């Protein structure tokens, strides 16, 4: 899978990006867009009408002193102003609504796409860089879409009507005025390409900065504990300086377009004044006709300058769109196969058959692993760190797919059933508790929003969490903070267990659920886990052997293989790896040693 952070190595054509934006996101709003274009045409026509009125103002009112025109011209100006004002307001409201809705649709699609992305995708990309797509990239795209829809169409209409008026007044003068216009195209396009390159680099650096902020803020405790404030300041300072230099460079490049247009405008106006003034002096045209022409010319060059500046905004937007589309184009590898059936759990037996798996081509994590978790029983995975225990657990809900072999639930290959039905049958409690910055109630009900208040309270009681919840300031309505920061480790763990109880899934996966707890918290959590495990097929990963000594079967996983299996007593008698691990944790390993206080009491033992 190519990283979306590497999209700077490729360059998608602007026309391709514009076509995709239009087909995918602008087309649904063509009705409103068409109405706004009609209003834009009205605004442009009113602008041209103002320039046209300069001829009767000068010739009829000031030179010929026509009393009727003295009344009609001001009235006409007022009517034109009123029509232009209302049309301008209507088109601005419509076009901004369309532009903002387009961006909202893109953000919604980005979020939905990420929610269905593989777990490997999130492990391969920094959180800050992904968040940057939703903020900085989208803001640049929003500016480009708004400017393109509003500025390009409106200014184009204005130029068309004004140029038509200019050719109507004097085709030769109009030709002189616009002979310089083609000269502006090449440098404007060149500046646009530079803007796109600079914008892409800027967005990449901003993503790195967002990642640094996220990591530093979350690790503030460790930053202070190790006295690394100055180091982090230097890291941030380097990124801030890089962003400053790139942003300043883009400002310089963008600022070049306006003076270029100003110089060329002055050149054209000077030529028109010289030639047109001479025609008036020689009597070949009237002052009113000439001033009507020069008014149209000056009014036309304003939207021309805007279009010149617009190109830089468009290229910035295209740079952002390219990054956004690169992320949207990454398809998940873990998905339902055609014809996938819903998993129907009858007992909940989990079987792993000769599984091979690698996170990378040259890094085998599992090599021929086979094991069985009987329906309604408890199996434990123990062994040295990095042996592959968590990898086995992650393959059951298809967070990853096996490279060889099979994972079966009640005899059905997990790749042959729908992801929704498979994950609905599994509850996960790990040492890395994911609590959201929401109420206690919402965090417990996260796996099943339809549950009642009574079910939430009952789950909390069974998870030994109800008492501490009631002691919180707002009880079940207390906000737990980001990642549950307002709660202790044991409290967070018990909320996670309550969440699993609410889900009421037949298969339970426990990944080091008590490893980070103190003795008292562990005792409370172990009691809650024992309640949760009743009647469920349970797979436990544990480093503390005291918590799994009564499991129905224990598998020792080393270097991607299952090297031993059996009950606690059987494994001690073999005097292998399990017995060695047991000796490290207990002073006097004895084959018949009873479980310690607080250990999991597995069902069926």
Q: Helix or strand or coil: residue 126? A: coil
Using the predicted structure, report yes or no on whether residue 71 has a pLDDT greater than 80: yes
Which of these, 61, 67, 52, lies nearest to 291 by C-alpha position? Answer: 52
Q: How far apart are CA 453 and CA 477, in angstroms?
A: 12
Dmax (CA) of the chain: 121
Distance, CA of 372 to CA of 551 (rounded, Å): 13
Assess contact for 339 and 384: CB atoms under 8 A: no
CA distance 600 to 526: 6
Structure-block tokens of residue 422: 């498979």
Q: Which is higher by pLDDT, 430 or 312?
A: 430
CA atoms within 13 A on the CB side of 333: 11
pLDDT digits (tens, 9 = 90+) for 287-333: 888 778 788 877 877 777 777 667 777 877 888 888 889 888 888 88
**pLDDT band at 189, cuts 50/70/90?**
low
How far are the Cα atoms of 416, 422, 430 from residue 409, in angstroms, in the given order? 11, 9, 21
At 1, list the tokens: 């899978």
Residue with tokens 């109630």: 441
* Least trusted range by pLDDT, from 48-52, 86-90, 185-189, 358-362: 185-189
pLDDT-based confidence at residue 188 (cuts at 50, 70, 90):
low
What is the predicted pLDDT for the residue at 409? 94
* Residue 357 per-residue DSSP state: E
Q: What is the mean pLDDT of residues 546-550?
A: 82
- The span from the CA of 342 to the CA of 322, in Å, is 37
- Pick from 450, 533, 522: nearest CA to 488: 522
Average pLDDT of the chain to the nearest whole number: 82
The predicted model gives 524-533 an average pLDDT of 77
As a whole number, mean pLDDT of residues 130-137 equals 84
**Averaged pLDDT for residues 434-447:** 85
Alpha-carbon distances of 286 from 63, 172, 383, 413, rounded to whole Å: 10, 15, 99, 89
pLDDT at position 375 is 92
The answer to whether the beta carbons of residues 138 and 103 sit under 8 Å apart is yes
Q: Write down the H helix ranges in 219-338.
A: 220-225, 229-281, 287-328
- Calculate the alpha carbon distances from 209 to 138, 198, 415 in Å: 17, 16, 39
- pLDDT classification of 562: cutoffs 50, 70, 90: very high
Q: Band the pLDDT of 601: cuts 50, 70, 90.
A: very low
Cβ contact 192:308 at 8 Å:
no
What does the pLDDT look like over 340-382, one tens digit per residue? 999 999 889 999 999 999 987 777 889 999 999 999 999 999 9
Burial of 323 (0-12, 13-18, 19+ CB in 10 A): buried
Cα separation values, 544 from 47, 489, 519, 581, 591, Å = 80, 17, 12, 9, 17
d(CA 120, CA 359): 9
Query: Hey, what long-range contacts does 251-257 have (CB within 8 A, 24 or more apart)?
Result: 253/191, 253/194, 253/195, 253/198, 253/312, 254/191, 254/195, 254/309, 254/312, 256/187, 256/191, 257/188, 257/191, 257/305, 257/308, 257/309, 257/311, 257/312
CB atoms within 10 A of CB 251: 10
Tokens of 465: 């969490």
The answer for 237, left when phi > 0, alpha when psi is -120 to 50, beta otherwise, is alpha
Given a cut of 60, whether residue 591 has pLDDT beyond it is no
CB 392 within 8 A of CB 553: no
Q: Is the pLDDT of residue 516 over 70?
A: no
> Does residue 588 register a pLDDT over 70?
no
Our CA angle for 404, 361, 357, nearest 5°, is 30
Q: What's this model's pTM, rounded to 2 decimal places? A: 0.74
* pLDDT score of 4: 46
Give dist(CA 586, CA 458) in Å, integer.
Answer: 37
| Helices and strands in the chain, H and E counts | 21, 10
């Amino acid at each position: 899978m190519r990283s979306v952070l590497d999209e700077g190595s490729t360059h998608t054509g602007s026309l391709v990006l514009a076509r995709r934006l239009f087909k995918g996101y602008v087309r649904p709003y063509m009705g409103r867009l068409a109405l706004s274009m009609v209003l834009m045409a009205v605004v442009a026509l009113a602008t041209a009408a103002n320039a046209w009125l300069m001829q009767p103002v000068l010739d009829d009112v000031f030179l010929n002193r026509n009393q009727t025109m003295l009344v009609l011209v001001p009235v006409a100006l007022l009517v034109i102003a009123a029509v232009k004002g209302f049309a301008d307001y209507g088109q601005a409201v419509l076009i901004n609504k369309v532009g903002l809705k387009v961006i909202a649709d893109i953000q919604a699609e980005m979020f939905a796409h990420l929610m269905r992305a593989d777990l490997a995708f999130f492990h391969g990309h920094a959180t800050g860089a992904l968040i940057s797509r939703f903020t900085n990239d989208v803001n640049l795209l929003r500016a480009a879409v708004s400017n393109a829809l509003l500025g390009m169409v409106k200014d184009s209409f204005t130029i068309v009507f004004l140029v038509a008026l200019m050719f109507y007044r004097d085709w030769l003068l109009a030709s002189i005025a616009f002979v310089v216009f083609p000269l502006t195209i090449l440098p404007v396009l060149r500046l646009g390409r530079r803007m796109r390159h600079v914008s892409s680099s800027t967005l990449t650096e901003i993503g790195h900065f967002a990642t640094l902020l996220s990591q530093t803020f979350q690790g503030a405790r460790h930053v202070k504990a190790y006295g690394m404030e100055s180091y982090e300041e230097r890291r941030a300072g380097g990124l801030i300086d890089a962003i400053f230099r790139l942003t300043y460079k883009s400002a310089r490049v963008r600022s070049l377009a306006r003076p270029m247009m100003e110089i060329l405008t002055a050149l054209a106006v000077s030529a028109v004044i010289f030639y047109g003034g001479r025609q008036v002096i020689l009597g070949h045209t009237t002052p009113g006709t000439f001033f009507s022409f020069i008014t149209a010319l000056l009014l036309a060059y304003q939207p021309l300058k805007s279009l010149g500046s617009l190109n830089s905004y468009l290229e910035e937007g295209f740079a952002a769109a390219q990054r956004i589309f690169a992320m949207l184009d990454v398809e998940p590898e873990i998905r339902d196969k055609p014809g996938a059936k819903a998993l129907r759990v009858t007992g909940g037996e989990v079987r792993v058959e000769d599984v091979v798996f690698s996170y990378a081509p040259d890094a085998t994590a599992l090599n021929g692993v086979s094991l069985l978790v009987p329906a309604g029983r408890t199996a434990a995975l123990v062994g040295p760190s990095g042996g592959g225990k968590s990898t086995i657990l992650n393959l059951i809900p298809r967070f990853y797919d096996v490279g060889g072999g099979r994972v079966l639930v009640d005899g059905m290959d997990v790749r042959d059933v729908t992801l929704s039905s498979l994950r609905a049958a599994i509850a996960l409690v790990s040492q890395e508790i994911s609590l959201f910055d929401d109420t206690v109630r919402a965090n417990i009900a996260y796996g099943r929003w339809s549950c009642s208040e009574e079910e939430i309270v009952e789950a909390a009681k069974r998870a030994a969490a109800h008492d501490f919840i009631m002691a919180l300031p707002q009880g079940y309505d207390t906000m737990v903070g980001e990642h549950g920061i307002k709660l202790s480790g044991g409290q967070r763990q018990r909320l996670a267990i309550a969440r699993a109880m609410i889900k009421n899934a037949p298969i339970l996966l426990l990944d080091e659920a008590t490893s980070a707890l103190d003795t008292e918290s562990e005792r409370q959590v172990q009691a809650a886990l024992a309640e949760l495990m009743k009647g469920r097929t349970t797979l436990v990963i544990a480093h503390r052997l005291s918590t799994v000594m009564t499991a129905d079967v224990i598998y020792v996983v080393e270097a991607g293989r299952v090297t031993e299996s059996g009950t606690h007593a059987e494994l001690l008698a073999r005097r292998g790896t399990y017995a060695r691990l047991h000796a490290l944790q207990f002073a006097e390993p004895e084959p018949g040693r009873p479980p310690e206080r607080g250990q999991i009491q597995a069902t069926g033992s």
